[in-house]
A and B are shown apart, each in its own frame.
Chain A
Amino acid sequence: MSGRPEVPVEPSLGPLANHAGPYFGDFGGRWVPEALVAALDELETAYAKAQTDPAFGAELARLHRTYTGRPSPLTEVPRFAAHVGEGVRVFLKREDLNHTGSHKINNVLGQALLVKRMGKKRLIAETGAGQHGVATATAAALMDLECTVYMGEEDTERQALNVARMELLGATVVPVKIGTRTLKDAINEALRDWVANVETTHYLLGTVTGPHPFPTMVRDFHKIIGEEARAQLQAEIGRLPDALVACVGGGSNAMGLFNAFLDDASVRIFGFEAGGLGISSGKHAARFSGGEPGVLHGARSYLLQDEDGQTRPSHSVSAGLDYPSVGPEHAWLHDIGRAQYRPVSDDEAMEAFRLLCRTEGIIPAIESAHALAGAVQLGREAREWSDEPVLLVNLSGRGDKDVATAAAWFGLIDDEPVVKADEGEQL
C-alpha cells in the first residue's frame, strides 16, 4: 500500500506482514451467497489495480494529510504508566485525534476512493459504536455519494450522539430491530441490502472481517497506524517497543497497529477482547476464550456459537467490541502463536477509562479503554521483559460518544447508561 504521509517509515517486508487472503491458515475465505461473488471479484480487481497505481496512493496520502490529520501523534503517558508498573513506559498512538474521532476514517477514505473508481454511487455500512458509520457518512458527504447506515436498535440507543452525527452528515440511519439488535444483525441487514443492490452499491465494510478481499484490504488501509508508530517510536526512543497492545472487536485497529511489527520477533503482540461480565457468565465477546472456529458473515474464524452452530449473542459495555466473531487474520495469528488474545472485563475497561481521564486528560473511547486495561494487566509481566519495558498502545478512538454511558456508569447522572438523541447534546 502506498498512501502514507511524509513520515519516514521502514516498510515491513516479512512474510507475515505481507500475507494476503483469501485464506489465513484455516481462516478467511468467501462464505457468501453467489449473488455477491461478482461484486467481490470486481472489488478485488479494482483494489489490485489501485495498489499499483501511484495516483491512487498519492490521492489517499493527500486526503490523510489534509483531511484526516495524519500522521496522528504518538504521546507518552507517564502518569498513566505509573499505574501500569514501575519503570514501564507507555506510548499511545493517537488515532483518537483523527478527523471523525477514530481509526475508522483510514479504511473509509481508502474504500470510498475505490468506489469512485468503480463508478458506484451508493454506500452502505454497518456500525456498532457508530464510529464506522460516522466515518462512512463523512466520506459519503465528502465524495458526493449516497449513504445508508445499518445500526442495531440497541446500539442506536447506546450511541445516540453518533446517530445524530450521521444524520447531520446526510446519511440515512436504519435501526435494525431483529435478532439481538446489535452489530451482528446490522451486518445481516447490510448484506441483504447489498445482495439486492450490488450493481449500484458498495458495501463499505468497517473491519477486517467478512469475505475476501475485505480482511486484507481493510488491514492494508489501516497499516499506516503501525508504520507511523514504528517510525515515531524510533525517533523518540531509538528502538522497537516490547509489546503492542490493542483492543479487538472485529479487529481493524489492532491489525493496523500489528502489521508493521509482525515480523519483528522481539515485539510481543497482545489483543484484548471484551470480557464483558466475565467468561463464566456467558455474557462477553471473548471469541478466543469462549468461542470456536465457525463461519459468520462470509469468513471462517473464531466464533461465539452454541452446540448447533447458532450464533450466540455477545455482550460488552462497548458497542464497538460487541460482536460474536473476529477477523480471520487474528484467528490465524492466534493459532500460530504470533499474537495473544486475552479478555478484559467491563469493570476493568471502565476503571482504565477513568484512569486515563484523570492522569492524562484524555477521554478514550470505551473500546480503546479495553486496550488501556490490557496495558494495566500486562504491567506485572512486563517487568520480566526488560528493565524499562515499552508498551505501544493503540488509542483507537475518543470517548465523546461514550460520555453518557460513562457518566451513568460512575454515577454522575441518575439515568440508565444510555442517552436519548434529543438529550445528548446537553451531556
Chain B
Amino acid sequence: MTVAVTSHVGARLEELRGQGRAALVGYLPVGFPTVPGSVEAVRTMIDAGADVVELGMPYTDPVMDGPVIQRAADVALANGTRVSDTLRAVEEVAGRGAPVLVMTYWNLVLRYGVDAYARDLAAAGGAGLITPDLIPDEAADWFAASDAHGLDRVFLVAPSSTKERLASTSAASRGFVYAASTMGVTGVRASVGERAEQLVADTREAGAQNVCVGLGVSTPEQAAQVGRYADGVIVGSALVRTLLDASDEGAGLDALAAATAGLAAGVAGAR
C-alpha cells in the first residue's frame, strides 16, 4: 500500500527477528469468563511470554471457530459482553509490552461503522484487526479507515489460495499475513498441517514480509516446529481451553500462565 503507516506489530516481529526468533501470538476472547476476568487473563498471558495479543470479539455466528472458542464466545455473549467492552479491554491491556490486535467477524465492525471503529480502536491503543471473514476484495472501507488511523490489517491466506491471491492478500495486509495451517476452523489438533511450511514459503515468495501461522497449534513442540519457519506462532484454542477446563478463575489463570510459558519456551528454542 502506498500510505506510509508504521506497523506496531510489524515492528515487534522485526525486533524479534533480530533476536533470532519468532513471536508467540496468543488469542483470548473478551468477556470470557467475564470482561474483567478476560482482561486479567490477557495480562497473565502477556506476563507469561506472549509477544503479541489477539483479542477476540465474541460473535453469534463464528464460522471460522471450532467448538472451544465457540463455547467461550457463547458464555461471553450470554454474560452481555458488548463491542464497547472490547475497546475498553484493549485500553486496559495495551501498553503492557505486547501490541494488541482485535480479531473480529466483520458485521460487528460494519454495524459500529468502519471508520468509527478504527478511530476508537486506535484511540484505545489497539494495533489493528485480524478479519477472518473479510477478504481484501470487500475491504475498501477498511483500507481507508486503517490508513487514516494507522492500524494494521491482517488478512488470512489458506492452503487453497492461488498464487494470485497470495500476492494480492500480501499486498493488502499490514503487520503480517495470517497463514491458516490447514483447511479448517480453529481448534486443537494432533499435528500442524503439513502444508503450513510450504504456504509460508509461498506467501513470502508472493511478497509478504511477515507470515504468522495459526489453526491447530497447541503444544510447545508444535510451537517450536512452526517457529522454525514462520515469523509468528498463533495459539488460540489451547489457551482458551485452559480457562474452560479450570475449576475456578485462579486455577484457570495458573494453567493459562503455565501453558503460555511452555509455548513461549517452544518458540524461543525453535531456531
- Residues on A lying within 8 angstroms of B by beta carbon are 29-39, 178-179, 184-185, 188, 191-192, 195-199, 294-297, 303, 305, 307-311
Contacts and interface: CB of A to CB of B under 8 A. Distances in A.
Given A35-B180, A178-B74, A199-B183, A294 B110 contact: yes
Given A34-B135, A296-B61, A198 B108 contact: no
A30 B63 contact: no
Given A31-B133, A196-B184, A39 B160 contact: yes
B61 A30 contact: no
B162 A295 contact: no
A72 B142 CA distance: 48
Contact of B161 (A30, A34, A196, A294): A34
Contact of A34 (B70, B77, B155, B185): B155
B77 A310 contact: yes
Contact of B138 (A31, A179, A188): A31
A246 B158 CA distance: 40
B165 interface: yes
Given A38-B165, A198-B160, 20 more contacts: A30-B137, A31-B135, A33-B63, A34-B156, A34-B169, A34-B180, A37-B135, A37-B161, A38-B161, A179-B74, A188-B62, A191-B63, A192-B185, A195-B185, A294-B110, A295-B106, A296-B107, A297-B63, A305-B107, A311-B61
B261 interface: no
Contact of B183 (A29, A35, A179, A296): A35
Interface of B: 59-64, 66, 70, 74, 77, 82-83, 106-112, 132-135, 137-138, 155-162, 165, 169, 180, 183-185
A195 B109 CA distance: 23
B130 to A, nearest CB: 12
A132 B109 CA distance: 32
A37 B165 contact: yes
Contacts of A35: 156, 158-161, 180, 183
A38 B162 contact: yes
10 contacts: A32-B135, A33-B63, A34-B180, A35-B161, A184-B61, A191-B63, A195-B64, A195-B185, A196-B184, A310-B77
Contacts of A297: 61, 63
Given A34-B158, A195-B185, A294-B111, A179 B106 contact: no
B63 A294 contact: no
User: Of A34, A198, A308, A309, which is in contact with the most chain B CB atoms at under 10 Å from its CB?
Assistant: A34
Contacts of B134: 31
Contact of A195 (B63, B70, B169): B63
Contacts of B82: 308
Contacts of B70: 178
A205 to B, nearest CB: 13
A33 B106 contact: no
A309 B133 contact: no
Contacts of B158: 33-35, 38
B254 to A, nearest CB: 29
Contacts of A29: 138
Shortest 6 CB-CB distances between A and B: which pairs?
A309-B111, A35-B158, A196-B184, A38-B160, A311-B60, A309-B108
A305 B111 contact: yes
Contacts of A305: 107, 111
Contacts of A307: 111
A297 B61 CA distance: 8
Nearest to B86: A308
Contacts of A31: 106, 133-135, 138
Contacts of B133: 31-33, 295
A409 to B, nearest CB: 29
Given A31-B134, A34-B161, A35-B158, A197 B110 contact: no
